[in-house]
Amino acid sequence: MSNTTLSQYLQQKTGTLTPELASVIDAIAQCCKVIDYNLQQGAIAGILGSAEHENVQGETQKKLDIFSNQQFIDALQKHPNVGAFASEELEEFTPAQENGEYLVLFDPLDGSSNIDINMCVGTIFSVLPAKKSIPDLEDFMQPGTSQVAAGYVMYGPSTMLALTFGDGVILFTYDIDLKEFVVTQENLTIPAQTQEFAINASNQRHWEEPVKRYIDELLEGKTGIRGKDFNMRWIACMVGDIHRILSRGGIFMYPYDLKNPEKPGRLRLMYEANPMSMLIEQAGGIASTGRMRIMDVVPTGLHQRVPVILGAKDEVNLVESYH
């Protein structure tokens, strides 16, 4: 196993990684270290509980949502290589430095409903090239295929960073003695077949028929058309569910449903679906809306939502065929 730290890895890597991009990734990692420290302190740090107001998504914010978001704002706004950034917690994008080479999009704290019960939460991020010296909203409207980097940090029993620059997925674990992320696995691969699926079954009555058909077949197990038993997992934190798939395979689904027909999906395209899709594809999996590749979707708004079906290649292909 390598003892290479994230800083060393970023210095050594060539090809898809520029020194400017390396600097942006390092800044994101530093933010995540601060968030991790405060999560470990929990109630002692006074960051648990509700902030008692809603974010732009209409979701009740936790105190740690606001704290985490502010860490990113403070780090990215002054970063010389960041032209602008956008957060799930903020309605508009925020300008940063003129001639900054990159745009950063982030969900500062995914799964924040898990905070107060001491369960898994995470940070998701996506990096796009800046097209203009002074970015505007149109500059952000790039499909996921334009991403130059994507990743997440999972704050769990051990804190881990999954990262891709478009040439495979590498996994880092946070060393609490070194206070550094250290390489622990390279070239992650998702098996094409699986016996695990993740979906919020409480929405079943709202699903479209193709998804109902697929899940019914999984639940029939050995007695049904699939001829094998499946296990269902649901963490209520996308980072945790995707980390499990990268670690041992599976399929994750947050499909389109009819509960709110005006919303095309639950998960945000630019802060959640695109970065996770890049990681999944780089590990050999597939990421789809059910009808098209997620990373081919051209955004029309910062907070656009999409259906998400991703993971094991054979399973995602089957769900798509049912659509």
Residue 18 token pair: 């520029």
Q: Annotated binding residue at 107? A: yes
Residue 231 marked ligand-binding: no
CA-closest candidate to residue 58, choices 14, 91, 103: 91
- The reply, when asked if residue 200 is annotated as ligand binding, is yes
Does 296 show up as a binding residue in the annotation? no
CB–CB of 198/241 below 8 Å?
yes
Q: Report how far residue 217's alpha carbon sits from residue 223's, in angstroms, rounded to the nearest whole number.
A: 9
- Rounded to an integer, what distance in angstroms lies between the CA atom of residue 264 and that of residue 256? 6
Separation between Cα atoms, residue 291 and residue 274, nearest integer Å? 15
113 labelled ligand-binding: yes
Structure tokens at 273: 């679906």
- What DSSP assignment string belongs to 214-278? HHHHHHHGGGSTT-S--EE---S-HHHHHHHHHHH--EEEE--BSSSTTSS-SEEIIIIIHHHHH
Residues 6+ apart with CB under 8 A from 86: 92, 93, 94, 103, 104, 105, 106, 140, 270, 271, 302
In this structure, the chain runs to a length of 323
Distance CA 146, CA 276 (A): 14
Determine whether the annotation assigns residue 112 to a binding site.
yes
Q: Quote the CA–CA distance of 108 and 131 in Å, as a whole number.
A: 24
- Ligand-binding annotation for 110, yes or no, is yes
Binding-site members for substrate are 110-113, 200
Binding-site members for Mg(2+) are 88, 107, 109-110, 272
Binding-site members are 88, 107, 109-113, 200, 272
